[in-house]
Amino acid sequence: VNIRERLDFSCAVFDGDGRLVANAPHIPVHLGAMGETVRDLIARAPGVGLDPAAPAQHWLTNDPAAGGSHLPDLTVVTPVHHDGARFFVASRGHHVDVGGVTPGSVPPRSTRLADEGFVVRQLPLLEPDGSVRALAPHLVGCRDVGTVSADLEAQIAANAHAARRLGELGPAALVATWMGHLHDVAAEATRALCARLPAGSASDDLDGVPLVVRLTPNEDDAGGGGLVIDFSGTGGPHAGNLNAPPAVVRAAVLFAVRTLIGRPIPLNEGCLAPVRLVIPAPSVLAPPEGAAVVGGNVETSQRLVDLLLAAAGARAGSAGTMVNLTLGGDGFAYYETLGGGLGATRDHAGASGRQTHMTNTRATDPEVVEARLPLRVRRFALRPGSGGAGARRGGDGLVRELVLTRPGGAALLAAFRPGGAPGLDGGAPGAPGFAEVRVVGRWRPWDGAPITLDAGDRVRVHTPGGGGAGRPPEEPQLADREEIP
C-alpha cells in the first residue's frame, strides 16, 4: 500500500559527483537527501561507475549516517557508465516494515536507532550472474519480507530503466553540459532570491528542544547574492526520536529555498550552491550515530520548513507534522500519513486537508484499505474551523477514524504543537491536533503511545489547521477561501 497506493517513493537523476540534477515531483524529504547517499557510495567506492567493463550493480542503503532519512525509506542507487563518463540514478521508497519494536517501523517512543529497524549501508543487490541476491537474510526483523523484497525488485527495475534512458539522451559530454546548465540556472535563481531577501530569524520549541534559525544574505564566492542559514542556538540531541540527520536538514532547506524562489525552475542542488549551512553538532539536527531518527524525518523536517518560511516572513505556520499512524497485528502492517492545514500567506488562504511541505503522498482509498486490511474507514473529512482566522484564513485540518475488525495494535507519531500553528502578521494560530481511541465503548484521549486494541475498537485523529495571515476582520469571513493551487 505504501508504495503502490500512497505513492510514497521518489526517483531522481544525479551527475557524476552525486549532485541532484532532475527528479519527478515526488517527496521533498526524499529528494533533498538522496544526494548524500549517492555521495556516500562515491566516497566508499571512488571508482564506481567508471569501468565500462564492470557488470551492472545496484546498491541498497537506509543508514541515516549515509544520507538516509529514516529506516523505512530504502534507497537503491545505480551507477550509470555512459560514453566514458558516469552518472547516477536513484529511487527511495517507504517500505511497509523494516523491523523494530512496532509494526510499520515508525515507533513513537523509540530512543535508539535499533528500536526502529534494520540498518544497511551500500549493500550490493546483484549477484555476479546479474540475478537479485537473496534479500531475506538482510531484512532482519521485517514483518513482511515478501512485500519488501518485491518492492525492492521494483526499485531495481525502475533504476535499470532509468539507466537505459539516460544512455539514450546523447553523448556524455552533451548530457553533462545539460546537467551543468540546470545546476547553474537554479544557482542563479537562488542568488536573485538572496538579493531581495531581508535578514530574519525565527525560533520554535520541539518537544522541549529549541529550534533556532537565522537567515543572513551575503556575498557568495561567485560574487553574487549568497545566503547563510545558521541553526546555531538549536538544542542538543532529542532523548526520543525527533533527531534529524543532516541530510534531512539539507532537504528541508532545499525545499524552503526552492519555495521562496517563487518561479518555475528545476529542483536540484544548484539551489543550494550560494547557500552556506551552519548546523551545530551534536544537536537535534546533527545527532550522534545510533540516535533514534524516525521522527526527525517526518516531524522535525516539517517544523524546519515552517521555521525557515517564518524567518523569511513568507507564510504562517502549517500543520507542522506528517501525522504518522501505524496499525498492525498478526499478518498485517499498515502505515499512513495524514494531511493538515497549510498556513496562509499575505495573498492567499491556506489550502485545507493537504499534505504540506516535506511530504507529498496520497491518502489511501477507503476501498483499498478495507479490501486489503482488517480495517474500516468510518470517517474521513475536513475539520471545519480548525484553520486560524485572519485576513487570509489558514487551511483546515482533517478528521480520520479507523475501526479494527480484528485485534491489533496502533501507534501515532505526531509532534502536535500545544499552541497550534503560528499565524503571520497578527493572524490567529491554527487549532492544535489531537487523537483519541474508543475502547470498550468509551472515547478517551490518546497520546500516540503503542496501544493494544480489540476488534471493534476505533482510532480517531484530528490533524492541525494552518495559521492565519493578517488580523482577522470584524465580520465573519464567508468568501475569502481562495486556496493556493
pLDDT, tens digit (0-9, with 9 covering 90-100), for 204-216: 999 999 999 999 9
Q: Give the tens place of pLDDT for each residue, 316-346.
A: 999 999 999 999 988 888 899 999 999 999 9
Amino acid at 354: R
End-to-end Cα distance, the chain: 27
**Is there a domain that residue 321 lies in?**
yes
Closest alpha carbon to 300 in 379, 235, 363, 346: 235
**Is there a domain that residue 257 lies in?**
no
**Is there a domain that residue 234 lies in?**
no
Structural domain for 373, as ranges: 315-485
Per the rule left: phi > 0, alpha: psi between -120 and 50, beta: everything else, 293 is: alpha
Cα of 354 vs its chain's centroid, Å: 14
20 shares a domain with 167: yes
Last residue of a domain, one of 184, 213, 233: 184
Strands 434-439 and 458-462: antiparallel
Q: In the block, which residue shows the cell 542507487?
A: 77
The pLDDT score that the predictor gives to residue 266 is 86
Amino acid at 480: D
Dihedral sign from CA coordinates of 112, 113, 117, 118: negative
Last residue of a domain, one of 129, 158, 184: 184
Res. 249: pLDDT tops 50: yes
Give bridge partners of residue 211 from the DSSP assignment.
204
d(CA 149, CA 103): 17
Q: Number of helices (H) and strands (E), helices first, in the chain? A: 8, 19
**Is there a domain that residue 2 lies in?**
no
Q: Give the tens place of pLDDT for each residue, 26-66.
A: 899 999 999 999 999 999 999 999 999 999 999 999 999 99
Helix (H) / strand (E) containing 200: strand 200-206
Q: Check if the beta carbon of residue 259 is closer than 8 Å to that of residue 28.
A: no
The pLDDT score that the predictor gives to residue 351 is 98
**Is there a domain that residue 192 lies in?**
no
Closest alpha carbon to 408 in 175, 103, 199: 103
Instruction: Find the farthest-apart pair of alpha carbons in the chain and give their distance in angstroms, rounded.
Output: 73
Last residue of a domain, one of 130, 155, 184: 184
Res. 428: pLDDT tops 60: yes
**Is there a domain that residue 282 lies in?**
no
| Cell numbers representing residue 188 in the block | 542563479
d(CA 209, CA 181): 41
Q: Check if the beta carbon of residue 8 is closer than 8 Å to that of residue 361.
A: yes
Give the number of domains in the chain: 2
| Cell numbers representing residue 10 in the block | 521518489
462 shares a domain with 322: yes
Q: What angle do CA 379, 383, 387 make, to 5 degrees?
A: 160
Q: What angle do the packed helices 246-261 and 34-44 form, to 10 degrees?
A: 130
> 74: pLDDT confidence band, cut at 50, 70 and 90?
very high
**Is there a domain that residue 129 lies in?**
yes
Mean pLDDT score of the chain: 94
Q: In the block, which residue shows the cell 503560528?
A: 422
Helix (H) / strand (E) containing 248: helix 246-261
177 shares a domain with 320: no
| Cell numbers representing residue 443 in the block | 472515547
Res. 286: pLDDT tops 90: yes
**Is there a domain that residue 214 lies in?**
no
Task: Give the 3-state secondary structure of residue 225.
Answer: strand
Could you count the other beta carbons within 10 Å of the beta carbon of residue 47? 10
Q: In the block, which residue shows the cell 472515547?
A: 443
